[in-house]
Amino acid sequence: MFCRLLSLLVAGAVLAAMPVWAESPPLSEATLSCLGCHEDLHPGMVEGWRASRHARITPGQAMQTTGLASKISSTDIPSGLQDTSVGCAECHTLRPDAHADTFDHFGYQVHVVVSPEDCATCHATERKQYGQNIMAHAYGNLVDNAVYADLRTSINGVLQPGEKQLSAKAPNNATKAESCLYCHGTKLRFDGLASKDTAYGPVMLPEIAGWPNQGSGRINLDGSKGSCAVCHTRHRFSMAEARKPYTCKECHVGPDVPAYKVYTASKHGTIYSAENNDWDFSAVPWEAGTDFRAPTCAACHISLVTKPGGTVVAERTHALSPRLPWRIFGLPYAHPQPKDPQTSKIKNAAGLPLPTNLDGSPASDFLISAEEQDKRKGNLQAVCLSCHTQSWVDGHWQRFENTIEVTNEATATGTGLLAQAWENDLAEGLPQNSSIFDEYIENVWSDIWLIHCNHIRFASAIGGGGDYGVFADGRYVLNRRLREMHDWVESRLPQQ
């Protein structure tokens, strides 16, 4: 409290001497109209925006910054947008014909759901890169994959009493939207206008199925994929926020992909937690050593990172793939990243839409080559080398690739036990043309790779080891679960 008071007192003194850009730029007439009501209706929304860069600088001013410090990548921003701040109307009335939810709102053609294509008006490069990001395709990658469809029903289905097994009542849309699709994104659908009671009386507003949602692969009402707000939350759209690890945590904290947990228990995370209040998360470019002393998720995989003098360490990429050689979660076996971000097209030798066969061998035609992996490894390790020697980095990497190998071996052992259960009719799966996720023993099997092998790999990749690879859902639990599978099969096999 005392500190805040000081800040305020100091702020008073300093504000008088603020540089010119701190004076708010002009607002468009349309945005002024929006604010007329919405400032009173939803002040949180408006104040978030008011604290944003969007409110404090015009695209025209932003375009004057070029080179590494540039925060805007389009060179063809319409002149009508260049001289006012980026306010409500600038985004919510863009490209009205493209959006199915465009409606007449007090004389303005407004759409509710702003899409990456709208953002591309000023941020064309980022939008294009994001289109190559596997996360932008998260909806289709999940929904159009038959194996995942089986898994999703197994998870989201409402179990009912059944004969040999419990039966799963298909999940409804509300359940789907807050389960897998919360992160993967929903498919939005415009269902017409309807009158809503508001503080200003009844107003005709769009009904949108699948709304709200900010999933990374949301199917928008202009047909585009993704939501920039998944990382840059509305209406501040902050780069600083996206560079902090909490952003990624939202979808990468669960036991299937424990990146955040592992990070905060790593040396990098320790340093981040202890010191991040003194770092600069808004600097562009982001200088290793001076702006931050330990990397966050963004530093390793996304951000434009330079050395203090300005030498580029890593180019900014909203595709992420240039700094991702291996895919280490979500599937039975770790494997090289897919070539195409649309992964439902993949077929393994058995014809299943999986990037490996059930014995772990890769469906290589669909995966990047060793050469491409090496290139990406180089891109990623360039960040490591900002603070570590090559020997250090090599030692880390050798352990990580060993861990990919041994966790794949563990999955193969578990898969063998499940096959034994199927072959002896202790459970029904592939040989019986039945679900591979709807019985207890099958769920133990999926725990093995989806939870435990993933923990071990993330602990290795992000932490260089530690408890999430051992007791915290790691090797200790992996081996207990494998023994449980063995025990289960053994005790049910006919006595010989």
Residue 269 near a second copy by CB under 8 A: yes
Residue 470 near a second copy by CB under 8 A: yes
Residue 115 near a second copy by CB under 8 A: no
Nearer residue to a second copy within complex by CB, 121 or 475:
475
Among 439, 449, 452, 453, binds a second copy (CB under 8 A): 439
Among 70, 388, 430, 434, binds a second copy (CB under 8 A): 388
Residue 285 near a second copy by CB under 8 A: no
* Residues between 408 and 437 with contacts to a second copy, criterion CB under 8 A: 409-410, 413, 416-417
* Residues between 45 and 74 with contacts to a second copy, criterion CB under 8 A: 45-48, 51
Nearer residue to a second copy within complex by CB, 109 or 233:
233
**Region binding a second copy by CB under 8 A among candidate stretches 81-89, 132-140, 191-199, 350-358:** 191-199
Among 94, 143, 253, 300, binds a second copy (CB under 8 A): 253
**Region binding a second copy by CB under 8 A among candidate stretches 24-32, 103-111, 333-341, 459-467:** 459-467
Among 43, 202, 310, 378, binds a second copy (CB under 8 A): 43
Nearest distance in Å: CB 226, a second copy: 16
Nearer residue to a second copy within complex by CB, 364 or 402:
402
Among 65, 172, 364, 432, binds a second copy (CB under 8 A): 172
Among 204, 312, 350, 406, binds a second copy (CB under 8 A): 406
Number of residues that bind a second copy (CB under 8 A): 150
Nearer residue to a second copy within complex by CB, 44 or 107:
44
Nearest to 428 by CA among 238, 117, 162, 39: 162
* Residues between 319 and 358 with contacts to a second copy, criterion CB under 8 A: none
Residue 179 near a second copy by CB under 8 A: yes
Nearer residue to a second copy within complex by CB, 364 or 424:
424
Among 115, 337, 386, 435, binds a second copy (CB under 8 A): 386
Q: How many CA atoms lie within 13 A of 203 on its CB side?
A: 12
Residue 24 near a second copy by CB under 8 A: no
Residue 110 near a second copy by CB under 8 A: no
Among 130, 190, 211, 449, binds a second copy (CB under 8 A): 211
